[in-house]
A and B are shown apart, each in its own frame.
Chain A
Amino acid sequence: MSKVVKSGTKGNVFSSKAMKKSSIMNTKSQSRFTSRRSDISVSHTHSRRSVTLSESKLTDGKSAGGQRLGLIVLDEDGNDVTPKPLHSYDPTVQKSGFFGSDNQSTVGTPTDVMSFTSVYQSFAQPFSRSIYGSTSNRSAKSKRSSIESSGEITESGPEVTTGFADVMTVRREEVEDLTDEDLNKMVDVILEETDTIWMFEQKGIAVSEESEESQTIQTKNTAYEELCKTKEGNDRFAERGMQTFNFAQKHKEIQAEKVGLTDAAINVTSWDMYDTYASKEEPPASDSNEGIIEKRGRSLGGGGERRGSRDGSVGTSRITESRASVLTMSVMGEPEPEPSPQPTTTETNETGINPQWEKISSSESILKHLVVMERVVTENIYQPKQATYRGMSVLIDPDKEIEDAENAPGGGSPDIMTAIGPTIDRLWSYSSPMTKGRNVSSMTWNKVNPDILAVGYGQFGFNEQNKNKGSLTCCWNLKNPEFPERVFHSKASVTALDFSSVYPNLLAVGLYDGTVCIYNVRNTTDQPVVDSFDCTGKHSSPVWQLCWIERERGLGEDRSEILISISADGRVVQWSIRKGFECSDLMKLKRTSSKNPQKKKEKAEALISRQAPGMCFDFHAKDSNMYLAGTEEGLIHKCSCSYNEQFLDTYTGHTGPLYKVRWSPYCPDVFLSCSSDWSIRLWKQTELKPVLNFFSTTKAVHDICWSPYSSTVFCAVNEGAVEIWDLKTNTLDPLITNLASPGMKFSCAIFSLNSNSVLVGDSDGQVSVYQLRNMSDKNEDKVGVVFVLSWVEAPMHIVELVWSYGLYCNDSDLSMVAAFMPTVKLLKLLHCVGKQT
């Protein structure tokens, strides 16, 4: 085996310093032949000796000056056994550019050299880097480290040392205690492109024929061949043999610590990345995240979780969560017999679960979710009814058995329905255990959201007032007919309600003791926003009706609204909430002596009060200054806000207290009134006597309501029945009568604004929704229902009243005449009627 000799000086260095224990060096010298220089550095780290890195010069002094290893190796006894460098920089040694030209740097056997000569001669110059530098990081300049250790020892000194120093980097293993903080702290891992590290390079020994050097190389090749041929008997070449020392070999084994490998995987989704970027912009809520991580650590337990949290601490907080959730998913998804590591019910693991429940149940979002869930659950049951309410088609459950099809809501075949004629169909009723047994006293729709209904529960009569029970006002939502959304308690019975239109969340409530309160339905608190308790001008008797009226101010302010109330103490009062709760009298309802000449006795009677108790009022739709007020005497007074002393007109006709007065929504001059004298009367503004009287029952009529869809339809509620009247078809009898169940009395009614239904409240606390069916021929409605009411009372003349939308015509006959409306109002009606179809 050919001996590899480096520079002469180096050989001296090695032989002189007998490094007894540096067997590594010896083996290295043997194996230098085949090993890479870079391996040397690596093997040193496996040494049992401590390896220290020091910048100081070599203390044991090398023969070659200027060598700075920067590394000191000490064996067990503390002897310095730092391996000598393989090459000592000798400035006197020139770089040998060509092999064979420098005697001092014999670079191996001639044969070895020669084989590479042709190639390496050309490349010898660039071999300026040492092999040692092969692992250095400073690879800015080109490094051509020759790997064949047999050759190429043209090393530059400084580069050797520096390469060495770089190579001999200390791998000091410090055992650190990993604390929790370390595990959880965020470690930024920055990936950069490193410099290029040349590990291995081998130049090809073939050169393309087309390259420039090919010519020279070819000539050299031929020269070489010639040389080889002439070698045999040439005097210039002499063969000589040499013997190398065969030193005893020794094996050394080292066992290294197993490199721990950890697998980490994550499913990256686009939303995950989005979340990461989004969270980076805001200050990361690291507290909550750490809290979550800790909770996870506690609750899951087991190695999988710890791994998750440790991995999580590497990345950002978001990645942590998603990673942990992925890990959790994998844990849950495995079909192992391991159930979720903790028992699931709250009894067995109270420490971890209950605080969680406490935290969750106190969060706001769960309440919202529960409300939504409740509505959804309700919708599942009420969906067919609600769909018919809205006029939508009913979804048929495809999995329902066929036998149910006959009972499907919506009735049977259309033929049957039309044959029956107009009916009302009870859809559902708003009731809940807390409202059971209470009398429904008033209802009103919200002006903005037609699904919200406010219902007041209170008794009408004095004897029935129950102070202990108190009274309720509930706000119901169409979406949940089983439980009201808002409940307000009050001591006295609720007798009147109205929603404001300017502030749709304000609900005015009038009570039996004369108090007027205003609630804000946005809150769920039970307290009114304002209460008239402190007002000086408050009512002393039950407030029978409330109404928010919009007034236009001339100053260009926003629409202002005032609250008007009428009460049994005979006053019509207006309230304003601008500063506190102020009220001022609008009108005092004086008792007027009856003009009926038959009743002369009345004048002599002692009057308890000079004022007549007011029961109801209604403002004119077009003229917000004018209103009608009905009293207990049975008189209807037309009043104006400008005059608070006198009535403009008085309509006589009723013989009992007026319960309701209502302007017609379609015809501006017509109004309807009902009273406890069992009658409903239709009036025209200009006539002081009623135009039509309706006697259909022997019970007091509590409430009337015009239909918003049809100009001739209204609903009347008396104690025993709900009646739908249609003046177009019949003025003597109601179109539909729905009797009350025994023991129950109806008390108030209101038409629905967005559906063809009427809601009726009864004395049992239920508000039933009835849908009107087959009310009228649809075509006629579209065209515009206009008809002629003919009324013959005085045989002297025939007065005919045409209910039109601004169009009057006289006809001498008693007949029904259909007329067409002006286009403008026709459109308005179509808009309302369109929902019926």
Chain B
Amino acid sequence: MAFKNKNDSGYSLKQLPCCSQLKYKLIIVFRQIWYTFLSFLHSLQLWHVALKKLSGRFGTGVLSYFLFLKMLLFFNVFLLFINIVFLVIPQSLCSQGSVHQFQGLELLTGAGSFTNTVMYYGYYSNSTLNENTKSSENRSLCIPYNMPLAYFFTIGISYFITCIILMYSMSRSFGESYRVDNPHGDLAMKVFCSWDFKVIKKASVKLQMENTSTQLKELLSELSRPSCSKSLCHRLMKMAVHTLAWTISLGSTFGCALAVHYFSAYMSKNLSKNVQQTTQIKEASLLALPVVVSAFNLLMPCLYNAVAWMEQYELPSMATYIAIFRNLLLKLFILGILCYHWLGTTVSGHNILKPLCWETFVGQELYRFLLMDFIFTILDTIFGEFVWRIFSQRVLGRQRKPVFDIARNVLELIYGQTLAWLGVLFSPLIPAMQIIKLVLLFYIKKTSLMMNCQSPSKPWRASQMMTIFITLLCFPSFLGSAVVVTYTIWSIRPSNVCGPFRSLNTIFESGKIWVRKLETENANLAWFTWIHKYMVENPFFLFFIAGILLIIIYFYAQFLDGQRRIISLLHEQIDNEGKDKKFLIGQLQDIYARKRPVFGKNGKDN
């Protein structure tokens, strides 16, 4: 860092002309503002000390799980903030609440006295709040507020902004982690780049050295061993084992999905039949389905781990990807069946006694699912990590503590976030529940890690994994929930007795009605309605935009291909230049060697 003394600086500010002085002063002011902003962002850093302790002991891989948790926390804080400002506050200020008796069961089921509160869709009014501001004195702070429109636009815009933020972080993370394939192998890369300087505890440093040594020895033995052509019998057996493993995992996934389907049908039939049961037992029986689903989510990955152990993949990264894929399939199927059940049967009324306010019911179901997911995660932490550590150390006598399964825990986070995104339409306060859950989860997981686990012994390619996790968050998770919510807004008939869209055919109609009202009321905004009619409602325009995007993607793919070819050509060129250099140096040495005896003779003669 060259630190110039102020006295011997080459330029002084007075020597510059006036306009350059102004320019430089402006630049300095902007830089000061930028540095102040960076310092402000830095001071906002949540959990800085805790994250440093974790990365000091466990390294970058485990840290990426906690960074992912922090990212999800910020998404939920944003959603909650928007919902509170635009939905909860206007609704609670401008209408009266009824007080119900609070029993303890509400916290678990989300029903009971929570039903008619701002928590759920059913409470929101379907009219413009306080159209007559002159009505009474205590309502004087309310201005006219079109509740259905506000609800529709708040949910729509928060989804849109979440989509943009996700796309941006996905493309940035992809750009950081994508590397053009190298045909030469990565031993040099492993030696130069694999030391994690964040690890500071002595035991962890020793562990890291052991891991590096093991990986290097494994890579060397792989390179030195000639790739043995396996016999046909061996290959057939491998294929049979793989087929068996896939059959078991896919079969169990389908089995779980079917079980959830029949069980949910049975539960809803049970609910409508047993009218003589007390409401408390009825509400407690609503918890049965979430318990079953969470139990499947907990136990099936253990089965998949056992199956993967049986298969014995050569590449450990392959095993991780396959485990993630199977786990993801299970969760997708279960969520798909549940969505079909809620939107399909609950709405069209296959039961005789369908819930009168189905949106509130779906919101409550999602609340219960989130809560059960959280309770089961705590149970899994206690039994999977704490009890297992005691068992493996006392009974099995192993020296090493259990390893933290990063992939499975991140998939749990993604699953919880999918539920929260599905539920925002039906229960605007569900992000609050998710925030509380994430904060508690941070501290529970951190404590459990410190007490029970050790850092992973396999190499964990952190940035590639983060890209995969953000892609999983974007594509199945966010896209799926956006599709479900869009379908609900577009084609499902809202219930007649509650909510902001009581009298309409679809939720989307509220937007159309508003545009038509604008058209009739305000002739100046005709251009706005024209845009709406020909661009938003006309599918041709959207196809056109999609076509252009596809063409741009195609160009980028070709560009990348060309770059790859240029890189290999440049490699060859450098190689050839090295050979040229050696050849020329050899020629030079020859010439010197030939000329030296001549000089020597001349020198002797002289």
- Asked if chains A and B come from one complex, the reply is no
